Chain A
Amino acid sequence: DAGVIQSPRHEVTEMGQEVTLRCKPISGHDYLFWYRQTMMRGLELLIYFNNNVPIDDSGMPEDRFSAKMPNASFSTLKIQPSEPRDSAVYFCASSLSGRARYEQFFGPGTRLTVL
C-alpha cells in the first residue's frame, strides 16, 4: 500500500490567492483527518470525516477554510483567500473504524507558505 498521499508537497503562494490541498487516504480506511502543524500551536485538528461525511469541523479556523470529501478516495482542503498566518504544514491522516480507529496513518504533509 502506498500510504496516505498528499499533494502538492510544497506550495508557495501570495496573500489573497486560493490554495487547494489534496489527499488520497489509504484504501479501505473510513476516517479522514486534516491537521495543521505550526511551532506555536503544535498539531491542530481542523476537520474529520467518517464515510465521506464531515463529523467535526470545530477546528476550522474561519470561513476562509473549507474541506470536502466527494468520495472515499479523495479529499480537499481549500483556503480562500489565503493569508500569511495560514503558513504551516498541513497533514492528512486516515484510519479504520473499530478498535483500530485511533491508529491514524499520516501523509507526508504539504508545507504551505503564504507571502
Chain B
Amino acid sequence: QQQVKQSPQSLIVQKGGISIINCAYENTAFDYFPWYQQFPGKGPALLIAIRPDVSEKKEGRFTISFNKSAKQFSLHIMDSQPGDSATYFCAAGMGGTSYGKLTFGQGTILTVHP
C-alpha cells in the first residue's frame, strides 16, 4: 500500500512534443504528490507538486494532472526541449507516523531529441 507505481520506464520524445509520465498509488492517506527531476551526476530536485484538493497545477511548461478517484496523477511537459532530458520521479507523502517521508516511484528516463 506504500508503493507508488510509475510508467513508462523510459520515454523518447521529439523536440516540441508533449511528454507524459503517469503514476498510481493505493494508499488514500497520501496527501502530497511532488515530482522530482534528476540530471546525470546530480541529486533529484523538486520540480512541481500538487495536493489532492486540486485537479491540476501548472508551472510554465510543466503540468500535474491529479485524479483522486482513480488514485492516479501525471506529469505533462509541453513543448519538450532537449534540456528537459533527465530522469523524473513521482512521489507521495503523508502525515501521521510517516510525517515528512516521501515514497518515490521507480523513475522515468526522458530523452528529448533535437
Contacts and interface: CB of A to CB of B under 8 A. Distances in A.
Interface of A: 4, 31, 42-43, 45, 48, 50, 55-56, 91, 93, 95, 97, 101-109
Interface stretch (B18-26, B53-61, B67-75, B95-103): B95-103
Given A91-B43, A108-B43, A97 B100 contact: yes
B107 A43 contact: yes
Contacts of A103: 34, 46, 49
Main secondary structure of the interface of A (DSSP, over half): strand
B104 interface: yes
Contacts of B99: 50, 101
A50 B43 CA distance: 21
Given A42-B106, A43-B89, A101-B93, 11 more contacts: A43-B107, A45-B102, A45-B103, A55-B101, A91-B43, A91-B44, A101-B100, A103-B46, A104-B46, A106-B44, A109-B42
B41 to A, nearest CB: 8
A104 B99 CA distance: 13
B100 A93 contact: no
- Between B98, B99, B100, B105, the greatest number of chain A beta carbons within 10 A of the residue's beta carbon is seen for B100
Interface residues of B, number: 22
B62 interface: no
Contacts of A104: 44, 46, 102
Contacts of A93: 43
A69 B46 CA distance: 24
- Between B45, B102, B105, the greatest number of chain A beta carbons within 10 A of the residue's beta carbon is seen for B102
